[in-house]
Amino acid sequence: MAVSADRPVGIDELLERVRAGLDRVQATEAYRAAQADEALLVDIRYAALRERDGLIPGALVVERNELEWRLDPQGSHRAPEATSHDLRVVVVCNEGYASSLAAASLRQLGIHRATDLVGGFQAWRAAGLPVSS
């Protein structure tokens, strides 16, 4: 049986493809880059998770459904931090799944250094990195 080029792609395969194109970072690397002003951490977790688990100090909080509008440097609804397509953005979700897809979407907008945090916020917290209420 021939496989059609138009066959549906499952989420696991899509995630694998997306991650192959990202230079994903570990929590300590993301922390160091943010501290050195070499990366913008963007927390896309929904409000209930942020309220339950806390925030990464200094991270820009952007709900996932607003991400592309807020980070597009050419967009009319961009965040002040969205200054350039060359900006290194590290997307953070809860466990590092949705953030991979979000980073790939940002790359499609030309934010070519967008990536995500391996293990998400839970890996950040497990590494003992700063969290605020």
**Above 90 in pLDDT, residue 2?**
no
- Domain range summary for the chain, segments of one domain joined by +: 36-127
Put simply, whether the predicted model's pTM sits higher than 0.85 gets the answer yes
> Mean per-residue pLDDT for 11-15?
95
Express each pLDDT in 46-58 by its tens digit: 999 999 999 999 9
C-alpha to C-alpha distance for 108 and 45, rounded to whole angstroms: 21
DSSP label at 21? T
E strand segments, the chain: 40-43, 60-61, 89-92, 115-116
Would you tell me which CATH number, out of the four given (3.40.50.720, 3.40.250.10, 3.40.1160.10, 3.30.200.20), belongs to the domain 36-127?
3.40.250.10
79 token code pair:
């965040």
Helix (H, G, I), strand (E, B) or coil at 110: coil
